[in-house]
Amino acid sequence: MLKKYTFKSDNPGYHVLFLGAVHGNEPSGPKAISMAVQKFASGALTPLKGTVSFIPVCNPLAFEKNVRQIDENLNRIIRKYEHPATYEQQLADELVDHIAAADVIIDLHSTYCPAAEPFIFSDYPDALADKLAAAQNLKYIVEGWPQIYAGSQTIQDLSTGACAHQYGKTCLTVECGHHFAESSIQTAYYVIMNTLLTLNMLEGQPSAPVSQRHIVMDSMFIKDKDGRLARDFKHLDEVKAGEILAFYDDGTTVVCPSDSYVLLPKKEAPVKSEWFYLGHLKAQSAG
Ligand SMILES: [Zn+2]
């Protein structure tokens, strides 16, 4: 049984659920959630309407061992299981019910990349997701993940976001920065507070909006054979058309097809796995 904290107002409103440590080695979500839970539990904060729930640790055993997962990646297998065959399938089966019981799900993650700038994955944007993403103090919003996987025979989108979408719920996944940076905890905490303030579930104003860039994922590059990235790419690095992005040991190269952003580069990716993605800046609608 996952530990869940729920704080309910007598007034009707959204049910917002915050998730931490879907990956066990990502402590900033659980830390920020614990800070928020303490405020609600002590009465320092009270929801003005609706319900706010927190599951600080969605993968308890992996969290205890400070590893990403026990048997498999929980954020790729979120669905109901009649007969769970792995530890994560048990968790997924339980998480589906929590997601289905909420209206808005905010899934807090962090990354191994030390220079990681926080960003939002908005996989299934709707009006509410757009509003909540716009209210965050974060510069980058990445869209288009499900479309990347739509054509894949081997990888199905069974993330928290996909599960939420399937049940008609709104979900944002927030990458809060490096796993162990103090700033990642702050980012996660601000995301919790800005979300609740934007939904008028707490008294006060969310922080002033920042200028944001929406990046749409275009393509996934699988590392076909032994090789290396052309340089030490960071997530959201800008690259130009014609630039060599990677060298294979057999002398062939991967060339950038158009001006793009490099997304989620994995320097040490094993052969036949995801190496990096490319995305482009989405045209912003005026006003
Ligand atoms: Zn994660």
Are 11 and 48 in contact by the 8 Å Cβ rule? The answer is: yes
Q: What is the token pair recorded at 123?
A: 């996989």
Which pLDDT score is estimated for 152? 66
Residues with CB under 5 A from ligand 1 (ion): 23, 109
Q: 155 C-alpha vs ligand 1 centroid, how far in Å?
A: 17
* Ligand 1 center to 191 CA (angstroms): 16
Alpha carbon of 187 to ligand 1 centroid (Å): 15
The two three-digit tokens of residue 185, written as one number = 């905890």
Q: Do residues 187 and 31 lie in contact, with contact meaning Cβ atoms separated by under 8 Å?
A: no
What is the structure's pLDDT at 286? 45
Quote the ligand 1 centre to 22 CA distance (angstroms).
6
**3-state SS, one letter per residue, for 32-44:** HHHHHHHHHHHCC
Token output for 236: 């959201």
Q: What mean pLDDT do residues 72-89 have?
A: 96
Banded model confidence at residue 208, pLDDT cuts 50, 70, 90: confident
Whether 287 has a pLDDT exceeding 60, the answer reads no
**pTM of the shown model:** 0.92
Report the separation in Å between the CA atom of 137 and the middle of ligand 1, taken as the mean of its atom positions: 20
The per-residue pLDDT for 112 is 82
Overall average pLDDT of the 72-92 stretch: 97
Q: Domain 5-198: which topology?
A: Aminopeptidase (3.40.630)
User: Cα–Cα distance between 150 and 205 in angstroms, integer?
Assistant: 38
Please tell me the distance between residue 1's alpha carbon and the centre of ligand 1 in angstroms: 21
> Which sequence spans correspond to the domains of the chain?
5-198, 217-281
The fold adopted by the segment(s) 217-281 is OB fold (Dihydrolipoamide Acetyltransferase, E2P) (2.40.50)
